[in-house]
Structures are given as structure tokens and as C-alpha cells.
Homo-oligomer: A and B are copies of this chain.
Amino acid sequence: MRVELLCTGDELVTGLTTDTNSPYLEARLFELGIKVSRVVLVGDVREDITQALREAAHRADVVIVSGGLGPTADDFTAECAAVAAGVPLVEDAGTLQFLRERAAKRGRELTPNVARMALVPEGSEVVPNPVGAAPLFIVGMGGCRLFFLPGVPREYRALVDGEVMPRVRNELEKRPGRTYRAFRLLRTVGIPESVLDARVAPLAAAHPRVVFGFRTHAPENQLKLMAEAPSQAEADTALAAAEKAARQELGLAVYGTDGDSYPGVLAKLLTEARATLSLAESCTGGLIAAQLTGVSGASNFLLGGAVVYTEPMKTAWAGVSPELLATHGAVSRPVAVAMAEGIRAECKTTYGLSVTGFAGPTGGTAEDPVGTVYCALAAEGAPTRCERFSIAGDRDLVRLFAASYALELLRERLLTPPSAP
């Protein structure tokens, strides 16, 4: 079944409003196995709306239209629908009565502009709006059914959930050979998108029912798996097999799935391990602390975080000796190690994590140019691990990846504790 969405309104094409209605409906339809094939946004221009309606009705089985059903001068979607369908506008008696009673309840007369909301294309099915004034109306054009909804998000969602989805589900169940879908998002860190692709691509042949997709949301790369099959059980089975194969290939790089967040996953690991953490951040400047404290319950494991932008504070809070700083410079392996060990001692935590580097755009040396970052993890009864990273990109990106790489040292340790000596 081919479904398209059409949203009208000047605010949607001038950057004033982000269309959040469509993603809501798309997700609801996707749960039914329907991938929306096109979303169109047009401004409040009669010819554009009419033309877009005709084109969509020509291509799709179902079109869900929103916006332009209100009482003001720039609301003329019903008018365009009538023109596109080649029928006149007629007054719907039930809606008129409803609008009159609604006005009376508020102690008002029914004004002509509000009464306009009762005008619908001839032959429409009209469905009352449970949370607002303008009704939903449904128009047939050729083989296509077009649903017209108000654009106000609260009304849109109520009508989508209560009226549109049941009708679409009904329609779908009448069709032979419908496709069932199952979906999984695998969230990875630490491997570039091109490497992720190269490692996963060879799996595709063995999983013909599954589409492998990729998405970048720095510092994450996400692998999207979508299975399609003639029954839900087959889609679920195909998805499970592809997910297993992908996980085998990607190993620890997969930190979570679907709605998981990286700080949330790490917080869970720390809490389960009954471990505590302290941070000494130089170039990330509090970014790691801010990410972790975004999780409710962070006070259970994050005992302290020091933003040590200057050498005296590295000494005062992370116990880095002035001699070490003078000998090696603040951005160096020995200083990163001393920061991690010093902050752990200062805060008396299971783990101490440190970051020092050149975030840019200024700074850096010939040996350690802008983008060079040292991260270190100190832990009880194990040697401190320190890694050097070269991060390409601007200041924001260097900081973002520096935070991610540092936290990865910790996540790896929590998942694969070093064997006892």
C-alpha cells in the first residue's frame, strides 16, 4: 500500500515551524509495516495545494493531508480538495450543528468564518474532531482515499490515533500479499561509517529479507536493519538472524539498540558493577560530566568531576605535579595518566577517567597538532591505560569524539575486566 503525506502551511516552508506531525504518523504507519513513500510540504498557495493533491492522489493509495482547515483567511485546503476532486463544496449539516453548539457552550454566536469549517467536498465522509473544531473528512479520488486533518498537533494526533490508523489497518488487512516488517537500530561507537559498511555489507547476501541501512549521528554510527516478509513471524525471524550476524561482526562496538542512549547504557553498567567514577577533564571541559549527569541517578556513581583547564587546577584537584607538567606539557601521555590516577585518589572512586588534548582551533605542537587527545583510565588493581587519538574536525567535533573515546575506555573495561594476575 502506497501512502503519502501532504502538509500545508506557510510556517512549514519558511523555517518557522518544524513539521513534527509527519514523523509521528510515519512511526505509527511503520509499526504496521508501511513505509511512507513521500512527504510533501507546501505553503498556503491555492494552486500549489491543488496540484500537490492531484499528484499525490495519482501516485498513492492513501494520502493523509494536514493543515489549512481552520477559520482564518489562509485556511483553504477544503476548497483545494474540492477543486482537485472536481466536485463542489457543500455544507455538512452535522458539522454545522456541532460548531453551533460548540460556540454556544463558550457563550458565543457562530460566526461566518467558523461556519466555513462545515464546508467539505461533496461526497466526503465526515468524522467529528474529538478535541477541536474542524472535522476530519475523507475524499475518494480515483483509486485513492485522501484523509484531511487539522494541522494542530494535538488534534492531528487524536484523529490519527482514533480515526485514521484504524481505517488504514482495516484497508491493509483486506489486501492480499501485504508485507510485514520488523525493525532494529544497532547503535555503534568507535568505528567510522565506511568501516561499518565494509564489515556489514558481506552479510547482506545471506539475509535477503533484510535491508541494511546506515546513519551517522556523531559520535555514533547506526546500523538500521529492516526485515520484510509475508508474515510477521517470518519478518521477526529474519530480523533476529541478521541482528545476530551483525552483532557477531561488530562485537563490542554495538553499545545499544533502538532508543538507548550512550550515557544511559554506561550508567547502567556502572550501577550494576557497583562502581564509582571521577573525571578530570581538560579539553572536553565538562562535556563528559554533563553527558553523564543528564542521566537520572548519576549521583550513585559519579562522585566528582574536575574541569581543569589550567595547570594550577590540574595540580590542585588532580594531583598532577608541577614538575611533570613542566617536563611533558599539559597535553601528554604522562599528564593524562597522572590526571586519571590523581582524580581517582582525590575522589576515592573505583575508576578515574581523564582527557587532555588540543581541541583547537589554536594550540597544538608539531608532534601533537590540534585534534590530538590523550585519554586515560585508572582503576584499582590494574595498570592505568592511556590512549592517544588524532581527531579530525572543528572544536566541537574534537571535543565530542574526545568525550566518546574516553568513555569507551571505561565501557570496554566494564565489559571485559582484565583477568586477575
Spell out A's residues near B (CB within 8 Å): 9-20, 22-28, 30, 35-45, 48, 52, 55, 70-74, 105-106, 111, 113-114, 131, 152, 154, 183, 185, 193-194, 196-198, 201, 204, 211-216, 218, 224, 226, 279, 281, 283-290, 292-294, 296-299, 302-310, 312-313, 316-317, 346-347, 359-362, 390, 392-397, 399
Contacts and interface: CB of A to CB of B under 8 A. Distances in A.
Given A14-B27, A43-B36, A152 B216 contact: yes
Contact of A41 (B17, B39, B193, B397): B39
Given A131-B394, A285-B290, 18 more contacts: A10-B226, A14-B27, A14-B35, A16-B23, A18-B19, A38-B40, A39-B40, A40-B40, A70-B193, A71-B193, A72-B213, A106-B392, A113-B198, A284-B290, A285-B293, A289-B289, A293-B399, A306-B317
A11 B27 CA distance: 10
B317 A304 contact: yes
A72 B215 CA distance: 9
Given A37-B43, A111-B194, A303 B292 contact: no
A194 B15 contact: no
Given A13-B38, A72-B214, A309-B298, A20 B23 contact: no
Contacts of A361: 296
A299 B289 contact: no
A37 B18 contact: no
A117 to B, nearest CB: 9
The 7 closest A-B CB pairs, nearest first, are A285-B293, A15-B27, A286-B289, A305-B307, A286-B286, A15-B26, A304-B313
A305 B154 CA distance: 29
B294 A285 contact: yes
A35 B43 contact: yes
Contacts of A362: 296-297
A21 B347 CA distance: 43
Contacts of A45: 37
A9 B313 CA distance: 47
Contact of A303 (B16, B296, B313): B313
A313 B284 CA distance: 20
A305 B285 contact: yes
A389 to B, nearest CB: 11
Contact of A293 (B25, B38, B307): B307
Contacts of A25: 15
A308 B307 CA distance: 11
Contact of A197 (B40, B71, B281): B71
Most buried by B among A286, A287, A303, A361: A286
Nearest to A362: B296
Contacts of A154: 218, 397
Nearest to A258: B16
Given A23-B15, A41-B39, A213-B74, A285 B304 contact: no
Contacts of A201: 73, 113
Contacts of A308: 304
A60 to B, nearest CB: 11
8 contacts: A16-B27, A16-B224, A38-B41, A70-B193, A113-B197, A284-B293, A307-B307, A313-B347
A28 B45 CA distance: 20
A281 B194 CA distance: 39
Nearest to A223: B72
Nearest to A390: B106
A226 B19 CA distance: 21
B30 A14 contact: yes
A38 B27 contact: no
